[in-house]
Amino acid sequence: MSSHQIAALFDMDGVIVDNHRYHTDSWLQFVGRYGRTLTPDQYATNMNGRVAADSLVYVFQRSLTPEEIVAYTEEKEEIYREMYRPRLQPTLGLIPFLKDLKRNQVPMAVGTSAPVSNISFTLDGIQVRSYFDTVVDASMISRGKPDPEIYLTAAKRLGVPPEQCVVFEDAFSGIDAGLRAGMRVIALATTHTREELANTGASLIIKDFREIDYKGLIERK
Ligand X SMILES: O=P(O)(O)OC[C@H]1O[C@@H](O)[C@H](O)[C@@H](O)[C@@H]1O
The footprint of ligand X (CB under 6 A) covers 11-14, 23, 27, 47-49, 52, 55, 112-114, 118, 171, 174
Active site residue 11: yes
Closest CA to 122 of 155, 156, 152, 94: 94
Q: Which is nearer to ligand X, 12 or 155 (CB)?
A: 12
Nearer to ligand X, 38 or 214 (CB): 38
Q: Which is nearer to ligand X, 39 or 105 (CB)?
A: 39
CB of 23 to ligand X, least distance (A): 4
196 Cβ neighbours under 8 A, 6+ residues apart: none
- The nearest distance, CB 121 to ligand X, in angstroms, is 11
Give the residue with the Cβ less far from ligand X, 112 or 153.
112
Closest contact distance (angstroms) between CB of 159 and ligand X is: 22
Q: Which positions are catalytic?
A: 11
